[in-house]
Structure 1
Amino acid sequence: MDRLTEMEAFAMVVDQGGFTDAAKKMGISKSAVSKHVSALEARLGARLLNRTTRRVSPTEIGLAYYDRARRVLNDAGEADALVTSMQLAPSGVLRISVATDFGVNLLSPVLGDFLQEFPDITVNMVLNNRYVELISEGFDMAIRVGELEDSSLRARKLTETSHRMIAAPGYLQQYGRPQKIDDLTEHKLLHYSNQSAGNVWKLTAPSGERRQVRSNGWLTVNDGQSLLHAAIAGLGIAYLPSYLYAEAMKNGLVEEAMPELPMETMGIYAIYPPGRFTQPKVRAFIDFLATTFADRGPDNW
């Protein structure tokens, strides 16, 4: 007899408290359930059930075996569900959380291609600059840039972006180019307002030493695109990811304020809830992003 069927029959008898109800649940005869359980006991050489005219209950050995058997059966069920889900066409509402800068500049331009490829998926993209709780807030996934804080979530690295200090040529001509990190305290700095550490830049000196630059800044705003525009206008030095400033730098609107500093890089990740398998709509979007950004970054944007 099939070992898994024997195990399922035994577990169902324990779950239902008897052979009759177990047979109804499995859609087979009572005698078939009894044969499966008897075959299992014979193969194991142990009595797993106490049988009386009124009730059926597991023996001590039977209870221990039931715990392990139930795990095996659950795993088998999940394996079946995995195969089924992987063969289904991706569909449904895909709710994504993404930082405003990345969403506007990189995701929005490619969403049309994704939706044409997967017409049964509807995308609900929420742009914000705060850390969202994926599961409790009902998101299927998020795109995050930089160090990952929650290790309980699953992550797939899509690409990298560099992080540099940039300023307009006119600003550097007027105020001079900082020669060392300490010089930055004398300059007009443009800051993100949503940084948890406040107006602090974490930089690496040419020696490899990690340094922190703290300044109130001349302008603080919660949007990277606005900081880029401010830098282009000559209002100060901004510390931004390359996917924001790359085009402006190619056009000569900004340049590196301190090119001698080591390049800082940050990972760009697709984040999604833990589980034994991934929803087809989530898997489809992550695979699409991985292909889209395969030849991008850290400076190639």
Structure 2
Amino acid sequence: MRLPDFEAWAIFAKVVETGSFGRAASDLGLSKATVSKAVGRLEARIGARLFHRTSRKLALTEAGQAAREGAARILSEGETAEAEAIAGASEPQGLVRLAAPMSFGVLHVAPHLPDFLSRHPAVSVDLHLSDAVVDLIGGGFDIGLRIAALPDSSLRARKLCAVRRSLVATPGYLERHGRPQHPDDLIHHACLGYAYLPTPDRWRFTDNHGAEAALVPKGPMRANNAEALAPALRAGLGLAVQPDFMIWDDLKAGRLERVLPDWSLPPIALHIVMPPGDLRPARVTALIAYLTQVLSAAPWAGAP
């Protein structure tokens, strides 16, 4: 089946509307020859002339009269469809699928979504939470939030802020068991482990002078979610490596203390990641801009 030549019918309608091949060409931003060829294609397809043409006058034939209303509808409906598509592309509307780490998503993404959705009532968000690395493209996600030192990939990424990780414990735990002065001292301490660290079976530290140390943490509990470690940590059952977005208020209130403050863990950062490509629906662009603004300015956020 051969599709109708919609472009040629729209050009024909514009010629009828303006009464001139030249004016139609000017309105459409086409050459007069292109307009003439489009009308010629239609005449060849229907097997009849659409215009009587002289050097001074352009008049519709009987076939042209019969076709003019339908062609005008094609032009009008095409213009309407394009205008609606442009509006849809510029006005945020529709579903955005967002993937985020579990604890971070619960604590720092979900609380902001009501404000975003109130600003954009035609947008909806499908929030998927998992501490595992999600396949953004295979899972059909528009945006992902990742807290890591990102490896090279085909994804587009925007760094929002640095995320500080610290070894922490309660003052009570440290009073009972002592304050470590060097990472090697941790072999005498209960360590609460997080399974999704880059090297969960080994904690690596670097001091202010570039010296390095590593140990295999041992303790009473390990979990694949950082928030799951919080009750045991706050109960004084051990030390844990935690990101500032989990503990900044506990540190401020004195419920937790940084341990080994002169030693740091490998740097990580919060990123927005997106599938490759430059064109994104307005709903996706709006959520990216909103999350960039609120998360970069969070009280726990480090310098980008």
TM-score between the two structures when normalised by the length of structure 2: 0.69
Which residue number in structure 2 is paired with residue 280 of structure 1?
A: 282
Percent of aligned pairs with the same amino acid: 30
Distance 1:115 1:23, change over 3 A: closer
> How far off is 1:273 after superposition?
0.6
Residue 217 of structure 1 and its aligned partner are, at CA, apart by: 2.9
2:301 to 282, 292, 298: 298
Give the aligned partner of residue 49 of structure 2.
Answer: none
Q: Secondary structure at the match of 2:5?
A: helix
Give matches, 1:175-194, under 5 Å: 175-194=177-196
Matching residue of 1:148: 150
User: What is the CA distance between 1:25 and its match in structure 2?
Assistant: 5.7
Cα deviation per residue 1:48-93 (whole Å; 9 max; x = unaligned)? xxxxxxxxxxxxxxxxxxxxxxxxxxxxxxxx99x94785211111
1:223 and 2:204 aligned: no
What is the letter of the counterpart of residue 157 of structure 1? K
- Which residue in 1 is equivalent to 2:243? 241
Quote how far apart the aligned CAs of 1:195 are.
3.7
1:116 is aligned to 118
Amino acid of the structure 1 residue aligned with 2:216: R
Q: What does residue range 1-301 of structure 1 map to in structure 2 within 5 Å?
A: 24=5, 26-27=7-8, 35=33, 84=86, 88-195=90-197, 197-262=199-264, 265-296=267-298, 297-298=300-301
Amino acid at match of 1:121: V
The residue that corresponds to 2:59 in the other structure is none
Tell me the CA shift for residue 262 of structure 1: 4.0
Rg larger in structure: 2
Q: Unpaired runs of 5+ in structure 2?
A: 13-29, 35-81
1:136-173: CA deviation from partner (whole Å, max 9, x where unpaired): 11111110001113521111122222110000011111
Q: Distance in 2 between matches of 1:295 and 1:140?
A: 23
CA distance in 2 between counterparts of 1:255 and 1:160 reads 20
Query: How many residue pairs get matched?
Result: 238
Question: 1:26: Cα distance to partner?
Answer: 3.6
Q: Contact 2:184 / 2:213 at 8 angstroms: preserved in 1?
A: no
Change (3 A) 1:225 1:298: same
Q: Distance in 2 between matches of 1:195 and 1:156?
A: 21
CA distance in 1, matches of 2:4, 2:200: 65
Distance, in Å, in 2 between the alignment partners of 1:298 and 1:200 is 26
**Cα distance change, pair 298–212 in 1 and its aligned pair in 2 (3 A):** farther
Equivalents in 1 of 2:148, 2:87: separation in Å? Answer: 31
Q: Structure 1 stretches of 5 or more lacking a match?
A: 1-20, 37-79
* Cα shift at 1:265: 4.1
Structure 1 residue 187, shift from structure 2 partner: 1.1
Shift of 1:298: 3.3
**Alpha-carbon offset, residue 211 of structure 1:** 3.2
Q: Which amino acid is the alignment partner of residue 272 of structure 2?
A: A
Instruction: Tell me how far apart the structure 1 counterparts of residues 251 and 231 of structure 2 sit (CA, whole Å).
Output: 12
CA RMSD of superposed structures (Å) = 3.1
